[in-house]
Each structure stands twice: as structure tokens, then as C-alpha cells.
Amino acid sequence: MLRIAVCIKQVPAYDEGTMDPETGLLQRGGLEAVMNPYDLPAVESALQLRERYGGTVDVFTMGPEKAREVIIQAYSMGVDNGYLLADQAFAGADVLATSYTLYQGINAAGQYDLIICGRQTTDGDTAQVGGALARWQDIPHANWITSIHEVGKDYLIVSQAFEHERARIKLPFPCLIAVEREICTPRMPTLTLRLQAKKKSITHLRVSDLADSHKEHYGQKGSPTQVERIYPAKTPGKETVVQTDPGLAVEEILNLVRPRDGETHG
Amino acid sequence: MNILPILPTYSEYLSDESQLAGNAQSISFPADEDELRETYLAMKEERTPLTIQGGRTGIVGGAVPQSGHVINLTGMNRIVRFEQTDEEHGLLTVQPGITLFELEREIRRLKVPKPLFWPPDPTEPTATVGGIVSCGSKGCSSYLYGETVDHVEAVRWLSSDGEYITVQRGEQVRVGTDETELLELLVGSEGIFGPLSEITLRLAVRPQEIWGICFFFEGKQDALQFADDVNHKELTTTGADLALLEYIDRRSIDLVESNKEVMTKISALPDISKKAAAMIYMEIHGWQEEAVEEIAESLLELGSEHRSDPDQAWALSGESEVEKIRDFRHAVPESVNLFIQQAHQKEPGITKIATDMSLSHANLTDVVSSYEQDIRKHNLDACIFGHAGDLHLHVNLLPHSQEQYELGRELVDKWAQETSEGEGCLVSEHGAGKLRRDMFLTFGRHNHIRVLKQFKQEQDPLWLWNQGDVLLQESESSDEGKEE
């Protein structure tokens, strides 16, 4: 019976339409928040392991009170327990403080055989929290996991993707893996679970609930780095699919990309 | 004014999503009203026909020129002004070339006490507001929000003498012996009376809670009867309404799944079980989560009664999450367009053949059964999807040969006749354009066609605008249309 913890985060569902056109700064006010897309395969991987080997899947998120929404989403996918690390003291955390808070929160909840993180978040983009959390836990970890092959009594065999090759590695429990999006297709929340989700309890953890209750170790005070500016990359508006013979396709694509007099490009 | 000759690099402007091939001698991209008027007057001087274009996302060839000059309005894509009328409503005036995607972005940037939105939601984000208003395209949520014209307050219209006329809601116009509202005549007129240079949209307060729910059915009849039951029950509570009720058949699902690799927006969605014979997609819009949940509970019970497993039903909340299912829904017509594009490459005579008809006195089960019976009888390939709530289905024939294409066209004519006899609507939101013009003229309501013709004659006596769309100049005979 595996005990699995999954770290998830609520992030803004932003695109270029939610940026200040003059300053280029992200306009967070009124932005809808969603579960970090990289965390969805992490939750799905955990659920698949539970379905195959039994056990429990718990999720942990650090954020404001509103972040409980992602726990409700995780419940709608089938997660067993949710832990919300919400405290004013946690605000403004960098990688170090975030990973420390998660470490404290996970330990407050109990012992886990496996911790799964998404590759990165779409707002921080560091891809370092998983590794840092493993360091605090003092357990082995592996990033860029593209598949889970086998789970034994006290080990896990996974594929790890490097730039040009893949490694098949064995990790002893307890351990942490950070999964790639390609590892699996996340399931959709179901209606039955979605309706039950709001009735399920969420454990709210504050600084005072943690083994280390020194506020200066968390949030902005516990963060050696400061973020100056965050902005999303510009994305193209319309995708055009050209499906024809290669010779004809080249000409069609050239016609699409060539600038033309008088034409406005958005 | 910059009149450009049609060079090979502009060839894409001679067609649209319908795959109908057109012809023109020149093109322009006016940036403002002055350029639009100058171009029009110059063409009028030479009696050159003009075809108005927006995003060219139409599927009836309305923006495909037959000859003459193309006026592409995508350069007129600015916000003109915004007026907050009360805490929950506003009037946003835009130029016609703004796309739905851009409009949504601009509306989100408005500094208003409560977030607003424009209710019509055609699925193609690159469609322009000018095109949407011209065709009366309303999208899936018309089940709750109604017709596009209800969400337009005013338009600025280039008249035949080159003057801009502001048309406000409520203004009446006499056409022959008929008195009619001018705004209602212009919205949905497909540009045959001239272009709109500004459109004032009625914005409403955006629902705080949006849920998207998909039920899957192993039996198609279960899906159809479920939709009929949902429709008859009028699921509404204080604080929430059912906003959308869509039917998607298995062939549509298969088309989408076969294109998943090239459609990045849906590539991350799980595959739909092969056992599913059909799916029903619904959205609940509301202001109180409890009210939304109340409707969702009712749907869950109803779904179970019709043998859909609620443990397999998708349920997403929040606009961004719901967008995932909307992307799937949008991928259906996109996949059909890809199919037609490929068929067109093999058989250049093949263009899109689909219905846009809605019925008022029937139920979904009977309507779909009737369509399927005809499709089987002619041994044709087709997919059926669309707005189950108002029996407005898009039956898309998928011809594999020219012969099948011709059979498909005959079938659509047959359905048009039956729809007309059943007091249904032949052209609900895609327009008649060129591809459905003959069907519209043959089976459409005589009074309506007569009003359109008379107004066309009065407002565009040289028949310069959008030649070949909706009406035919030479076919003035009184035997057209259906007598009322």
C-alpha cells in the first residue's frame, strides 16, 4: 500500500490578454486561477499508481485561502486527502521557502513512500522546488520522469529523459520524482466526484501547525531571491494546418508567412 | 486608399472555410471609415462589384468573391468607445474587423466594477465581430442568451451614397408595404446592403460560476432522450441556468480523435471511450455555486436514469477549465473542415455541405432519427452535432467522391423543403452565402425574401455589394420561396 503525496499549485490562467499593454506587467487582479498544468500529470500518475498498487493519494498546496479550489479539483479527480498550507507568513516565498514550507507541511501530515511533483509551475517556471523539497526531506529524487515502469515493495523503477537519451533508474522508497507532462494524459474530473468534493474536508495548516513555527523561516522573510518581473511569452493567434503533398505544402506555407502589403497582422 | 492587384500571395483571400473557390481582380485592407468609403466610391464609379471579408471563417462562401474587388475589414479592428450603462451592463463600440479573441481580451481589460462579457459565443475565435453580426452567428450559449441581434445596440452602416448612417435599436424602416426594424434587417443580412463600420455591442455581467458537464452514452437513443428530457424540464434555479445543450454523435467524436495530433488544444484531453455512441455537453452559468450544484445534481440523476454513468461524466468548473471541453466541441467543425479540405484537394468540386436548420415543433430523437435514416438510405458518410436545445443541428455530409457530394446536396435540399414545411428556420447562424443561396431562395419564406430584395433594390440599386450572396439579381420571379 503506497502512501503518495503530490505537490500542486494554483496559478493564474493568463495569456497575453491579461497583461498591461503599456508596462508589460502581468495584471493579476480578477484573473482566474487554475491548477498548474504541469501538476495535472503528477496527480494522474499518483492516481494510476494507487489504482494499480493500492494506497492513498494526498495533495499539498501552499497559497492563499482561494487555493483550496485546486484541492477541490484534485478531489474531483479522485484524490483522498488535501492539505492547504495557508498563512500570511507564507506569502512571497521563493524556491527555498516554498520547498521548506512543503517539507514542513508534508511532515506534519505523516510519512510518505513517494512524493510526486510536476515538472515546474507556469508562473514561477523554476523547476527547482521538487529537488529542493527532496533535499529538505533528505531523500533521493529524479526529475524529468517520463514513465513509471515498476513499483516494488521498497523501490520504484522509472524512465528519466535527458537531452538525447533516456535512463532507466531505480529509486528506493521514500523518494521524490518530478514528472514530465508526457508521462500520462490527466483524467477529467467526474461529475460524481465534483459534487462530493465540496463536502470533503480540507486540512488547513498554518505556521503554528508546523514543527518549525518560526515565521522568519517562511515566505518573503525566508526567501533569499526576489522576483523582479514575470511575463508570458507571446503566442501566435491562429494555427493553420496544411495537409497536402509536400511540394504544394511548401508553397501554401510560404503564402501564409510572407508579409503582404496593406495586411494587418495581429 | 491602397488598391492592390490580386497576386498569388493573396490567393487565400479568394476562398474561405467553405473551400468554395472565387475570383477577384483587386483587394484592399481599409484601416478606417475614410478609406472604406473612398474605396467604395472608387469602385462604384467603375461599377465594380465588392465583396466584404472578415476572418473568412464562414462556411457558406459568403466572403468568397465572384469578381471585382475584395474589401477585407480585418484592419478595422479597434475598440471605438465604451459606456458603462449600469453596474451590470455596458455598451462597447467596436470596428467590424475585431476578432472574437481580441474582443474577449479587450472586454477583460475594461475597468468595470463587475466583469462583463458579450453573450454570443461562436466557437471560432478568429471570426470577426462584423462577420458574426452579419450572419447572426450566435454560438452554443444561445440556448440561454438568445439571438445575436438581441446583443447589438446599434450599427454604423455605409449607405449606397457613401454616407455613414448610425442605426439605433428601435428605428423602423418601411420596405414596400412592410414596416420593419432596421437593425434587425441589417443584422444577419450578410453584407448585401453594404458594410458596417462600427457595431455597438451590449455587454452583460459575466457569470461568476461556469460548469461544463459531458455525459457519455453507450446507446444513442439514450443520449437523444436524455437531451429531450433536459430540454423539457427547463432546468433553472434562482442564481443559475442551463446555458448550453449540445449533441455530438460518434462519427463527430471519431473525426476529432483522428485529428488530435494536429490540434494542440485538445491533444491533452483523454480519449473518449470507444463504447460511447454519443455525448451530450452542457454548461451551467450562474452567480451562486450552490445553485449551479443544484442543477448539476438534477443532471446527474437524469443522466443515471438514461444509463449514462455519472462516474464517467466529465465535470469542469471555471472558465479556463470549461474551455477544454469547448475546445473539443470546436474541434468538431474544425475536423469536418479538415476533412472537406482534403476531399476538395482530391475532387475540386467538393465544398462543405452542412445544415444550419432549426426546428420548433419536434424532439431531438425524431429529428436525428430522420436525418440518419436519409443518410443511410443514400449510403452516405456524415456526422451530426449541434444545438440540441433548439433542435438546431449541424448535419455535415462527408463526401468521398463527387457523386456522393451531389447526392449530399440533394439530401440537404430535401431537408430544407421538410424544414420549410415544418415552419423551421433554414438558415440559423451560418448565413446563406453562395452555397446555401439557392436552397434559401427555393424554400425560404416568400415574405422575408421579398423584403430583402426590395431593400436591396432600394439600398444597393447597382447590386455592387456581395454579389451572389443570399439573393440573385436576375431571379426576380415571384415563384421563389414559400408562400405564407
Q: How confident is residue B246, by pLDDT bands cut at 50, 70 and 90?
A: very high
Q: Which amino acid is at A82?
A: G
* pTM to 2 decimal places: 0.85
**Residue of B85, B321, B318 lying closest to B204 (CA atoms):** B85
Residue of A27, A34, A69, A194 to mutate when probing chain B, most B C-beta within 10 A: A194
Of A44-48, A120-124, B270-274, B363-367, where does mean pLDDT reach its minimum?
A120-124
Spatial distance between the Cα atoms of B364 and B387, rounded to a whole number of angstroms: 10
Are B126 and A237 inside 8 Å of each other by CB?
yes
Distances from the Cα of A140 to the Cα of A131, A170, A179, angstroms: 9, 10, 15
Question: Are B262 and A16 in contact (CB < 8 Å)?
Answer: no
List Cα–Cα distances, A72 to A181, A201, B415, in angstroms.
Answer: 21, 10, 47
Give the closest-approach CA distance of B435 to chain A in angstroms.
23
Report ipTM (2 d.p.): 0.83
pLDDT, greater one: A44 or A223: A44
pLDDT confidence tier of residue B235, bands split at 50, 70 and 90:
confident
End-to-end CA distance of chain A: 54
Give contacts of A 182-201 with B, CB under 8 A.
185-195, 198
Least CB-CB distance to A192: which of B99, B310, B345? B310
Rounded CA separation A119/A138 (Å): 19
Query: How close does chain A come to B199, measured CA to CA in Å?
Result: 20
Please give the full DSSP string across B14-76, using - where no structure is assigned: G--TT------SEEE---SHHHHHHHHHHHHHTT--EEEESS---SSSTT--SSSEEEEGGG-
Which of A18, A44, A66, A188 to mutate against chain B (most B CBs within 10 Å)? Answer: A188
Angstrom distance (rounded) from CA B410 to CA B405: 9
- Provide the percentage of residues in chain A whose pLDDT is more than 70: 87
Percent of chain B surpassing pLDDT 70: 98
Q: CB A243 to CB B297 under 8 A? A: no
Chain-wide mean pLDDT for chain B? 92
CB contacts, 8 Å: B214 with chain A: 188
pLDDT band at A122 (very low <50, low <70, confident <90, very high): confident
Which residue in A has a C-alpha nearest to residue B102's C-alpha?
Answer: A17
Compute CA distances B354 → B20, B67, B249, B431, B459, whole Å.
14, 25, 15, 12, 31
- State the pLDDT at residue A215: 95
**CA angle in degrees (0–180, nearest 5) for B372-B377-B382:** 45
Residue A200: count other Cβ atoms within 10 Å of its Cβ: 15
Segment B6-35 mean pLDDT: 92
User: What are the pLDDT digits (tens) for A64-82?
Assistant: 999 999 999 999 999 999 9
**pLDDT (0 to 100) of residue A266:** 39
Q: How far apart are CA A185 and CA A171, in angstroms?
A: 23
Q: Which residues of chain A neighbour B29 with C-beta distances below 8 Å?
A: 262-264
Q: Are B449 and B457 in contact (CB under 8 A)?
A: no
A238 touches chain B (CB under 8 A): yes
Q: Which of B326 and B474 is assigned the larger pLDDT?
A: B326
A162 Cβ contact list (under 8 Å, min separation 6): A144
**How many Cβ pairs closer than 8 A exist between chain A and B?**
118
Chain B positions in Cβ-Cβ contact with residue A181 (cut-off 8 Å): 268
User: Is pLDDT above 60 for A99?
Assistant: yes
The answer, yes or no, to whether residue B9 has pLDDT greater than 90, is no
Helices (H), chain A: 39-53, 68-77, 95-109, 129-137, 191-197, 246-257
Closest CA relative to residue B179, chosen from B473, B455, B483: B455
**Which region holds residue A181: left if phi is over 0, alpha if psi is between -120 and 50, else beta?**
alpha
> Alpha-carbon distance A193 to A206, whole Å?
27
Is B29 part of the contact surface with chain A (CB cutoff 8 Å)? yes
Would the CB atoms of B2 and A73 count as touching at under 8 Å?
Answer: no
Q: Do B29 and A262 touch (CB under 8 A)?
A: yes
**Containing H/E element for A57?**
strand A55-62
Cβ within 8 Å, pair A188-B269:
yes
Closest CA to B142 of B158, B163, B121: B121
Nearest to A70 by CA among B318, B135, B49, B58: B318
* H/E element, B258: helix B250-258
Q: What is the pLDDT of residues B85-123, one digit of tens each?
A: 999 999 999 999 999 999 999 999 999 999 999 999 888
d(C-alpha B441, C-alpha A23), whole Å: 54
Q: DSSP for A114-139, please give it.
A: EEEEES--TTT----HHHHHHHHHT-
Residues 190-249 of chain B whose Cβ lies under 8 A from any Cβ of chain A: 213-214
Q: pLDDT tens digits, residue range B253-291?
A: 999 999 988 888 888 899 999 999 999 999 999 999 999
Mutate to test the interface with A, among B255, B269, B273, B317 (most CBs of A within 10 A): B317
Task: Calculate the CA A258 to chain-centre distance.
Answer: 38
B interface test, pick of A11, A191, A253, A261 with most B CB neighbours within 10 Å:
A191
Q: Would an 8 Å CB–CB cutoff place B338 in contact with chain A? A: yes
User: In angstroms, rounded to a whole number, what is the distance separating the alpha carbons of residues B68 and A52?
Assistant: 67
Please say if the pLDDT value at position B484 is more than 70. Answer: no
Please report the pLDDT score of residue B478 as a whole number. 44
pLDDT tens for B168-190 read 999 999 998 889 999 999 999 99
Q: How many CB atoms are located within 10 Å of the residue A244 CB?
A: 13
Chain B positions touching A27 (Cβ under 8 A) are 109
B5 near A CB under 8 A: no
Q: How confident is the model at residue A20 (pLDDT cuts 50, 70, 90)?
A: low
Chain B residues with CB-CB distance to A47 below 8 A: none
Find the Cα–Cα–Cα–Cα dihedral B440, B445, B446, B452, rounded to 10°.
-70
pLDDT tens-digit series, residues B444-458: 888 889 999 999 999
Query: Is the predicted pLDDT of residue A256 greater than 50, yes or no?
Result: yes
Q: What is the pLDDT of residue B208?
A: 92
Rounded Cα–Cα distance for residues B184 and B313 (Å): 40
The grid cell for A178 is 518530478
What are the φ/ψ torsions at residue B161 (nearest 5 degrees)?
A: -90, 10
Residue A228 has pLDDT above 80, yes or no: no
| Residue B447 sits at the chain A interface (C-beta within 8 Å) | no
Q: Which three cell numbers stand for residue A221?
A: 522573510
Residue B476 pLDDT? 46
- Which triple of cell numbers denotes residue B442? 427555393
Give A105→chain B minimum CA distance, Å.
27
Is A10 at the interface with chain B, CB within 8 A?
no
DSSP type of residue A185: P
| Cβ-Cβ contacts under 8 Å, A266 against chain B | 77, 99, 102
